[in-house]
Amino acid sequence: MSLFKRVLIWGALGLVCSSVSLAALAGVASHGLPNVEAISTFVPAQSTKILSEDGIVLAELHQEENREVIPLDQISPYVKKAVVALEDTDFYSHHGVNPKAIARAVIHDIFAMRFAEGGSTLTQQLARNLFLNQKKHMTRKVAEAVLAIQIEKKYTKSEILEMYLNQVYWGHNAYGIESASQQYFGKHARELNLAESAMLVGMLQGPEIYSPFRNFGASKGRQKVALDRMQKLKVITPETAKRAYLQPIVLAPKKIFRYKAPYFTSQIVSQLISMYSEKDVYTSGMKVYTTLNYKWQMKAMQLITDYVQKGKSSTFMIEDEAVNHLNFSQAAMMAIDPNTGYIKVMQGGVDFQENEYNRCTQAKRQPGSAFKPIVYLTALEKGFTPASIVEDTPISFNTPQGVYAPQNYTKKFLGSITLRKALEKSINVVAIKLTHLMGPQNVVRVAHQLGVKSPLSPFISLPLGINDMTMQELISVYGVFASNGKYVEPISILKIEDRNGEVLFKSTIKDKQVFDSNLISTLVDMMRGVLISGTGTAARIDRPAAGKTGTTSDYKDAWFFGFVPQLVCAVWVGNDNNASMNKVTGGTVPAMMWKEFMTEALAGMPVEEFPKPGGISLKKEEVSPEQTGPKQNWESASSRTESKIPTPSRKEKTDEDRILDFFKKQP
């Protein structure tokens, strides 16, 4: 028998044995394999997106897999052509496995003495990614082939290609073509051009190795391989391939922050985890629509960065004196819509990466004179009017700690002064006298009625803002002023959708009328004077606005709270370690920052007037010396539980009359 015949016979016998062995191996590998119909219900991990009110993606939440699943018609045709050309030339003609590719791979593996080349079709790769591990061994390869054939029987080529492109890994924790497109080029997958598509497809052989972020030269080399293959298969012309290769590649900036608007977004993440499981938040592909106005947020961040830097290097005119190095290292800004409670801006500090502490929601600090409007609202409730006269004169109170003699910021006294002017000028002594007359407990009651949640000590020094509270608490109180007596719960999430667009959650505006609207409009009318001729003139803007400055002892905190009917904004500057600033008051840096922010935020927004107060007497009313008594008789609120206000007879006195008894009416 000739050598040729012997080789032919032994080859035939080998082929039969191999076929029998492979069939037996396929039977073993098929045992216990998953049902490919499960692909229909398979839900890949998908990133949750958090979006701003104006459509900016603030964060994409994911753990192992950053993915966004998209339909095939939203993927660039260049990507589809490139991946078939480079990864599976016969994709549209085979039935799950490609015998030619397997034979070629076997030859390569024999010469390499290892599993050097896979020969897997796109369908096999999909089966491996969905159902199997990545370790190369014969049983897995056979199982992969069996599953691929089953997948091809069940699904169309278009469905398989769509699943593949949404499943495959592209490096840097990006799974699926949409995430990869956004990661590397900052655009949607449907917008990818030929050059970008070829580079992405070329990376599939080693996504981390060929990442253009890590090795742009190697990535360009793989791009050329993809273009050459497309040219060889006549998918594109040589001229088109050359133009694509020479086309400049513009990579998206590598992300430094995990989140945009991180002070706000980190709160959203915490809120989501409290509403759903952490696994769902990071893998379910929800879309979270928030209240944040990203444009305004960027303005707030810019102002805080600029002013903290200016405070270190620029000269400011404060009280007609040039002051260098204002000595503050932190600032915060928050803005809400008073009619809905929507949080529009939350910039809790200078740099979230350096310090994640949120000074809008976590820091409890003394608000200083920014608390005084609550005192004046209590006075209005008890019958005082903006025209009531109180004596701004020295006075002292006996307290368990000794004699307390309050001072004004200027260390001067203005004598007889209306409540309106006293609020505009932020006169400490007048506010303290009012608190004594009404009883600190009444002021505390009104503060809680307006939305303050922190405990407040009923001391006579309440008007000086001695109790710690958060910016968010007090801005909500100012929201009551702006909305004419209506308290609205702050809202940061508008709605949440699942990956299919079904609404999981929708916010409801929770508002409640907590104070008499006429008294609120009267207070707001008084507070407008703060910007017109009071301590907040640096915040004056070209439309009706109201507000209040706040400065704590030793210049440790400086605040400005201001509002128009559509928007409330709060600004704080200071130091986390409570170090004193250099003469910074609420009417200086915070008022200037507030004005700059509001000027931009309100541009194009219609001018609205505040409601006019009615029924409040504008006649001058003053406290008579014989009614107030000598100054040493003013009792300290810290040494009693109730203010000693004369009790009216049920017959002829009202609660308001009891307070007005302290006044001598003037024509």
Mean pLDDT score across all residues of the chain: 84
- Over range 68-80, report the average pLDDT: 95
- Over range 414-425, report the average pLDDT: 97
- Residue 217 has a pLDDT of 94
- Residue 646 has a pLDDT of 30
Among residues 438, 439, 440, which one has the least CA distance to residue 467? Answer: 440
- Residue 616 has a pLDDT of 60
Task: For residues 565 and 444, state if they share a domain.
Answer: yes
On the question of pLDDT at 401 being above 80, the answer is: no
- Residue 321 has a pLDDT of 81
On the question of pLDDT at 429 being above 90, the answer is: yes
Is 285 among the domain residues?
no
- Over range 596-606, report the average pLDDT: 97
Q: How many secondary structure helices (H) and strands (E) does the chain include?
A: 22, 22
More confident residue, 286 or 627: 286
For residues 286 and 67, give the distance between their C-alpha atoms in angstroms, rounded to a whole number.
11
- Over range 146-174, report the average pLDDT: 90
Last residue of a domain, one of 203, 231, 246: 246
Q: pTM of the predicted model, to two decimals?
A: 0.72
Helix (H) or strand (E) run with residue 399 in it = strand 397-399
Task: For residues 470 and 599, state if they share a domain.
Answer: yes
The number of distinct structural domains making up the chain is 2
Task: For residues 316 and 229, state if they share a domain.
Answer: no
- Residue 313 has a pLDDT of 82
Active site residue 321: no
pLDDT classification of 258: cutoffs 50, 70, 90: confident
More confident residue, 317 or 176: 176
For residues 557 and 33, give the distance between their C-alpha atoms in angstroms, rounded to a whole number.
67
Is 562 among the domain residues?
yes
On the question of pLDDT at 434 being above 70, the answer is: yes
- Over range 397-422, report the average pLDDT: 91
Task: For residues 470 and 555, state if they share a domain.
Answer: yes
Q: Where are the beta strands (DSSP E) in 536-617?
A: 546-551, 557-564, 567-574
CB neighbourhood size of 147 (10 A): 26
pLDDT classification of 97: cutoffs 50, 70, 90: confident
Name the β-bridge partners of 415.
392
Residue tagged active-site, from 52, 197, 219, 369: 369
Lowest average pLDDT, out of 396-410, 430-444, 493-507, goes to 396-410
- Residue 41 has a pLDDT of 54
- Residue 466 has a pLDDT of 92
- Using a 10 angstrom Cβ sphere, with 0-12 exposed, 13-18 middle and 19 or more buried, the burial of residue 48 is buried
| Strand bridging mode 66-67 / 174-175 | parallel
On the question of pLDDT at 658 being above 60, the answer is: no
- Residue 42 has a pLDDT of 58
Pair 569, 300: CB distance under 8 Å: no
Task: For residues 109 and 215, state if they share a domain.
Answer: yes
CA atoms within 13 A on the CB side of 297: 22
| Strand bridging mode 621-623 / 388-392 | parallel
Task: For residues 219 and 318, state if they share a domain.
Answer: no
Largest CA distance in the chain: 140
Residue tagged active-site, from 53, 87, 162, 473: 87
Task: For residues 220 and 331, state if they share a domain.
Answer: no
Beta carbons within 8 Å of 333's beta carbon, 6+ residues apart: 300, 303, 304, 345, 347, 360, 569, 570, 571, 572, 593, 597
Q: Each residue of 299-311: pLDDT tens digit?
A: 999 999 999 999 8
- Residue 655 has a pLDDT of 37
User: Can you give the residue range of the structural domain that contains 405?
Assistant: 304-490+515-660
- Over range 551-571, report the average pLDDT: 97
For residues 90 and 254, give the distance between their C-alpha atoms in angstroms, rounded to a whole number.
36
Lowest average pLDDT, out of 42-46, 136-140, 368-372, 376-380, goes to 136-140
Last residue of a domain, one of 231, 246, 261: 246
Pair 409, 550: CB distance under 8 Å: no
- Residue 577 has a pLDDT of 94
- Residue 126 has a pLDDT of 87
CATH number at residue 323: 3.40.710.10
Is 322 among the domain residues?
yes
Supply the DSSP string of 283-312, one letter for each residue.
Answer: HB--EEEE---HHHHHHHHHHHHHHHHHHH
Pair 316, 78: CB distance under 8 Å: no
| Strand bridging mode 66-67 / 388-392 | unpaired
Is 503 among the domain residues?
no
Buried-exposed string 454-487: b where 16+ CB fall within 10 A, e elsewhere: eebebbbbbbbbbbebbbbbbbbbbbbbbbbbbb
pLDDT classification of 64: cutoffs 50, 70, 90: low
Is 502 among the domain residues?
no
CB neighbourhood size of 661 (10 A): 14
| Strand bridging mode 546-551 / 315-318 | unpaired
- Residue 77 has a pLDDT of 97
Task: For residues 236 and 317, state if they share a domain.
Answer: no
Long-range contacts of 32-41 (CB under 8 A, 24+ apart): 33/131, 33/143, 33/146, 33/147, 34/131, 34/147, 36/127, 36/147, 36/150, 36/151, 36/154, 37/154, 39/130, 39/151, 39/154, 39/155, 39/163
Is 279 among the domain residues?
no
Active site residue 68: no
For residues 662 and 657, give the distance between their C-alpha atoms in angstroms, rounded to a whole number.
9
- Over range 431-444, report the average pLDDT: 95
Task: For residues 210 and 128, state if they share a domain.
Answer: yes
Task: For residues 238 and 310, state if they share a domain.
Answer: no
Task: For residues 337 and 413, state if they share a domain.
Answer: yes
Residue 333 corresponds to which tokens in the numbers above? 């800004």
- Over range 650-666, report the average pLDDT: 40
The SS3 of residue 229 is: helix
On the question of pLDDT at 106 being above 60, the answer is: no
| Strand bridging mode 493-497 / 546-551 | unpaired
Last residue of a domain, one of 219, 246, 273: 246
Helix (H) or strand (E) run with residue 316 in it = strand 315-318
Percent of the chain residues topping a pLDDT of 90: 65
More confident residue, 417 or 119: 417
Among residues 522, 533, 523, 598, which one has the least CA distance to residue 560? Answer: 598
More confident residue, 233 or 145: 233
Pair 602, 517: CB distance under 8 Å: no
Lowest average pLDDT, out of 58-67, 200-209, 283-292, 540-549, goes to 58-67
Is 634 among the domain residues?
yes
CATH number at residue 117: 1.10.3810.10
Task: For residues 234 and 311, state if they share a domain.
Answer: no
Alpha-carbon separation of residue 284 from 65, 68, 69, 640 (angstroms): 11, 10, 11, 58
- Residue 355 has a pLDDT of 87
Please name the residue that has the structure tokens 């000739």: 2
- Residue 103 has a pLDDT of 60
The SS3 of residue 350 is: coil
- Over range 291-316, report the average pLDDT: 94
Q: What is the CA 404 to chain-centroid distance, rounded?
A: 45
pLDDT classification of 175: cutoffs 50, 70, 90: confident
On the question of pLDDT at 62 being above 90, the answer is: no
- Over range 383-398, report the average pLDDT: 94
Length of the chain: 667
Is 582 among the domain residues?
yes
Pair 449, 514: CB distance under 8 Å: yes
